[in-house]
Structure 1
Amino acid sequence: MYLLISILSSTAIFIVFKLLKKYNINTLQAIVVNYFVACFLGYSLYRGNINYSEIAQANWFIAAIILGFLFIAIFNVMALTAQKNGLSVASVASKMSVIIPIVFGILVFKESIGIQKIAGILLALIAVYLTAMKQKQTAVLTKSIYLPILLFLGSGIIDTSINFFAPNDNIPLFSATIFMMSAIIGIILLITKGLKTKNRFNLKCIPFGIILGIVNYCSIHFLLLALRQENTESSTLFTINHIGVLALSTLIGLVFFNEKISKMNWIGIALAFISILLVTIS
């Protein structure tokens, strides 16, 4: 159930970003509002007295601060990758990064590995490629090749670090601290860009930012709760999570946004569900 909520929340992020473009809402402004909302949710959901000096002394505090910086940095890298290399390259690079937490879980956490699980993971990677590639898009890997590499490594490091550093008993505070750091950096970016472009803050971005903040927080909160359940393995959960989000968001794009899906994309979606079945059963 936790994993399902995380997948639905992550897919909802895709829908909100689509709506931002449709209604011409400033993306960066909505994202900054989203980080403040997600931070507020984390602190609100924590059951206990919040002691900021204790938070600063927690063994996960530095990791949370670094992750907050990475959240903003990788978002910008994703945007640059889409502009320089194409949307398909950006999508594949970010989703293929799931291999990093998978390998980390197998090597560091000594999680199970077998022929069926390996087959499911490999099938999942093929599904990512087939589902993410769109027709009439030019994938330019040689141009600004460092961008998709940075996106691949950064996305994988974020997923791995969240799982590794998140405390079992303080998930809301851990998540809130990450979003707080992202919000602070986001405000600095907004002020800097505002001074250069003289763009004013648009109040229309607030409701979109609130919705984005709720689903963004839920996507991480419930994924961490799923990862902390007994008899679960991160390599399995990350595979199901990434493939589930990609397949579901593609189908939603078809049904609600009239996006065209090629035969290759349909094959990718089919392989995605087969890979989920193989990994889950294993």
Structure 2
Amino acid sequence: MIYLILSILASSLIFIIFKLFAKYQVDTLQAIIVNYVVACVSGIIAYSEPIDMVAVTKEGWFYGAMVLGVIFISVFNLMAITTQKNGLSVAAVATKMSVAIPIIFGIIVYHESTGILKISGIIIALVAVYLTSMKTSTGVPLKLSNLIFPLLVFVGSGIIDTSLKYFETYHVAKNDVAIFSASIFGFAAIIGFFVLIYKAITGTLKVDFKNIVAGIVLGIPNYFSIYLLIKALRYDNMDSSTVFTINNVAVLLVSTLAGILLFKEKLVLKNWIGIILAVISIVLVTFSIEA
């Protein structure tokens, strides 16, 4: 359980850092790419064994990590496009509601436990995610032609969580969690560097030192959010559907409260109802572990 709590805190810290990006006008793309480099290095440092690159490329998870790296940076860019075309609330809902994909996958494919408390908690969690994420007056009209972007964010985010569980279950050895996580971020960084090279060639690249610093600050909690989540998925007493539900809803809850306390964000009635439902869902799903 401690890994899950720490993963929630690390993911919530990412939210706070992103809010500071907007305040200090950080170039998010540059910071994200630096963040991937730092997260990769963090995983390499955390790996307890000598790194044999030839052996790593032969691991069953290697090509999966490569694909996940591409998906990581692709989903991030899709989130940015969704925010621009449909509004921040739509992007938030698409990202958070994607938890339904690994939950359903875990129950159907891994035959994970179900029960009235757990199912009720999951359903309430999804409602809570929607109500808490949706803010009034996004400033961007929702157009039918732009729905492809939140749909891709929804699917992409769901694939990431589902894939993490799959590789953790079948391919990643106990001692390889650090290097597996590092590889994902490493491949994402490689794709990011190609983007920067393209921007440099087209003359649209302007590097600012604050973007590098921002990326370094983001990289460490980003690495641990994934590393600790994978470790939490290894906890025998909790199914992945339970872990993903608690993790996703708790991150949203902590992030929302941080927004109120640190950034003076204003919430409407439905957001507060969502927060109450989020707490109820966490309690129900947690108690279902003991049932």
By the TM > 0.5 criterion, same fold? Answer: yes
Task: List per-residue Cα deviations over 1:217-269 (Å, max 9, x = no partner).
Answer: 01000111111122221000100000001111111111111111111101100
TM-score by length of 1: 0.97
1:164 aligns with 2:151: no
Q: Specify the alignment match of 2:217 in structure 1.
A: 211
Q: How do 1:215-234 and structure 2 match up within 5 A? A: 215-234=221-240
* Cα distance in 2, alignment partners of residues 214 and 244 from structure 1: 20
* Cα distance in 2, alignment partners of residues 114 and 254 from structure 1: 34
2:40/2:181 contact within 8 Å kept: yes
Q: Specify the alignment match of 1:155 in structure 2.
A: 157
Identity over aligned pairs, percent:
52
Q: Specify the alignment match of 1:106 in structure 2.
A: 107
Unaligned runs of 5+ in 2: none
User: What secondary structure is seen at the aligned counterpart in 1 of 2:112?
Assistant: coil
* Cα distance in 1, alignment partners of residues 124 and 22 from structure 2: 32
Q: Specify the alignment match of 2:179 in structure 1.
A: 173
RMSD, aligned α-carbons: 1.1
Q: Specify the alignment match of 1:9 in structure 2.
A: 10
Amino acid at match of 2:222: N
Q: How do 1:48-197 and structure 2 match up within 5 A? A: 48-137=49-138, 140=142, 142-166=144-168, 167-169=172-174, 170-197=176-203
Alpha-carbon spacing, 1:188–1:172, altered in 2? closer, same or farther (3 Å): same
Runs of 4+ in 1 over 2 A off after TM superposition: 194-200
Task: Give the paired residue count.
Answer: 282
CA shift for structure 1 position 207: 2.1
TM-score by length of 2: 0.94
Alpha-carbon spacing, 1:211–1:227, altered in 2? closer, same or farther (3 Å): same
* Cα distance in 1, alignment partners of residues 61 and 78 from structure 2: 25
Q: How do 1:198-277 and structure 2 match up within 5 A? A: 198-277=204-283
Q: Specify the alignment match of 2:21 in structure 1.
A: 20
Alpha-carbon spacing, 1:114–1:208, altered in 2? closer, same or farther (3 Å): same
Alpha-carbon spacing, 1:115–1:139, altered in 2? closer, same or farther (3 Å): farther
